[in-house]
Structure 1
Amino acid sequence: MYVDGVAILARGIAARGPAGIVFANLDLRVEPGALAVVAGPAGTGRTSLLLALSGRLPLITGYLDVSGHVLPAQAKAVRQLILPARLRPGYELENKHRVREAIMERRLISGVSERSIDAALDKVRIAPDRTALIDELHPAERLLLAVALTVAAEPAGILVDDVDAGLPMSARAQVWAGLREVTRTGMTVLASATDPPSGDVELIPLPAREPDRPTKVLDLQEEVTR
């Protein structure tokens, strides 16, 4: 398996949620095939940023380009490039399904083959009991199963929210190792965590640093002419 991962460029982006501004004045660059980790305490907009970078939350200002697709105008194309493996709340495996049922459902929805799913499970180094309930799996194995089911469709990028939530250190290491294996296919991994891993990650810290002067909003024409 090899895919062309997404590249992301953002300048001065901001987004608003029901309770107000969730992040603002944020600049970032993510290279194709990177493990990019949005890191910060709860309430700093980690999930909202993942949603925005994947075309699922509109920006109120700033410039955002995902592999040549400028948001918000081309958000639909970006949503097809970047698929969620886990986003909280609302996008997780159903705990009362059995592993085999989750696999069958993903095959029906995504049209992926059993062989592709087996290869993705091998990639993240798990072999879950297919008769077990999702809720019976270890949290690390449950998360990596969600990752594998998404990777099997070979998107250009995946979203993995709250990687370290509820995991002991040894289990966190297992999950981060699995995500690094995914990036070796060329796929871009956009993750969020309270405590990011060390090493070869592209760190996106939140809350965003306040700029020394007001951030200028870049429009598409200005970006093209640079």
Structure 2
Amino acid sequence: MDVDGVAILARGIAARGPEGIVFANLDLRVEPGALAVIAGPSGTGRTALLLALSGRLPLVTGHLDVSGHVLPAQAKAVRQLIRPARLRPGYELEDKHRVREAIAERRLISGVSESAVEAALDRVRIAPDRTALIDELHPAERLLFAVALTIAGSPAGILVDDVDAGLPRAGRAQVWAGLREVTRTGMTVLASATDPPSGDVDVIPLPVREPERPTKVLDRQEEEVAR
């Protein structure tokens, strides 16, 4: 599996969510085949940035180029290049499906071959029980299984949200090792985590946003005093 990974260049980008601006004035560069980890505590906009970089969340300002495709005008093309393995909430494997059912469904939807799925499982170094339910898998194996199903289609990049959520130290190490193996194909991996790994990783830190101070509403007595 040899893939031309996506390259990303962003200057001064900002995005807005239901509760206001989630990130602003952000500059970043991701090279093809990199493991890039968006790092920060919960609520700093990690998932929103993954969505924005993959053409799934419109920007309010700034310049964003993904392998020559400028967003938002070419968002559809970018969404084809970068596929989600896990995005929370909304894009995760169905817990009550069996492993074999998840494989069959992915093959039907994406048209990948059985051999491509096997190669992807080997790439991330897992061999899940085909009769097991998804929620019976160890959390690390479950996440890597989602990654394997996604890379079987050889996209230029993948998204992996909340890599370290609910994983013990050994499980985190297993997942990061699997994602590093994915980058050896040339594929770009865009991940998010609270605590990024050390080593050959491009860390994109997100600052903690200060909560907006509520506007004080003066009662009638305070209004009289203020006058």
Q: d(CA) in 2 for partners of 1:116 and 1:165? A: 28
User: Which residue of the partner structure matches residue 39 of structure 1?
Assistant: 39
User: Which residue of the partner structure matches residue 18 of structure 1?
Assistant: 18
User: Which residue of the partner structure matches residue 106 of structure 1?
Assistant: 106
1:67-113: CA deviations, max 9, x gaps? 00000000000000000000000000000000000000000000000
Q: d(CA) in 2 for partners of 1:122 and 1:207? A: 37
Question: What letter matches 2:27 in structure 1?
Answer: D
CA contact (8 A) 2:35 2:191 kept: yes
Question: What letter matches 1:195 in structure 2?
Answer: D
Structure 2 vs 1, CA of residues 208 and 35 (structure 1 numbering), >3 Å: closer, same or farther?
A: farther
CA contact (8 A) 2:7 2:30 kept: yes
User: Which residue of the partner structure matches residue 117 of structure 1?
Assistant: 117
CA contact (8 A) 1:162 1:193 kept: yes
User: Which residue of the partner structure matches residue 171 of structure 2?
Assistant: 171
Unmatched tracts of structure 2, length 5 or more = 210-227
**TM-score, normalised relative to structure 1:** 0.92
User: Which residue of the partner structure matches residue 186 of structure 1?
Assistant: 186
Question: Matched residue of 2:148: which SS?
Answer: helix
User: Which residue of the partner structure matches residue 200 of structure 1?
Assistant: 200
Give the superposition deviation at 1:125: 0.1
Q: d(CA) in 2 for partners of 1:29 and 1:157? A: 14
Question: Matched residue of 1:142: which SS?
Answer: helix
User: Which residue of the partner structure matches residue 220 of structure 2?
Assistant: none
User: Which residue of the partner structure matches residue 65 of structure 1?
Assistant: 65
Structure 2 vs 1, CA of residues 75 and 208 (structure 1 numbering), >3 Å: closer, same or farther?
A: farther
Question: What letter matches 1:25 in structure 2?
Answer: N
Unmatched tracts of structure 1, length 5 or more = 210-226
Give the superposition deviation at 1:183: 0.1
1:14-60: CA deviations, max 9, x gaps? 00000100000100000000000000000000000000000000000
1:143-176: CA deviations, max 9, x gaps? 0000000000000000000000000001100000
Q: d(CA) in 1 for partners of 2:113 and 2:88? A: 27
CA contact (8 A) 1:10 1:27 kept: yes
Q: d(CA) in 2 for partners of 1:208 and 1:185? A: 34
CA contact (8 A) 1:121 1:148 kept: yes
Question: Matched residue of 1:140: which SS?
Answer: helix
Question: What letter matches 1:96 in structure 2?
Answer: K
Q: d(CA) in 2 for partners of 1:58 and 1:74? A: 11
Q: d(CA) in 2 for partners of 1:136 and 1:191? A: 24
CA contact (8 A) 1:24 1:208 kept: no
User: Which residue of the partner structure matches residue 159 of structure 1?
Assistant: 159
Runs of 4 or more above 3 Å deviation: none
**TM-score, normalised relative to structure 2:** 0.91
Give the superposition deviation at 1:207: 1.9
CA contact (8 A) 1:23 1:208 kept: no
The sequence identity of aligned pairs, in percent, is 88
CA contact (8 A) 2:82 2:156 kept: yes
User: Which residue of the partner structure matches residue 129 of structure 1?
Assistant: 129
User: Which residue of the partner structure matches residue 140 of structure 1?
Assistant: 140
Give the superposition deviation at 1:208: 7.8
CA contact (8 A) 2:40 2:208 kept: no
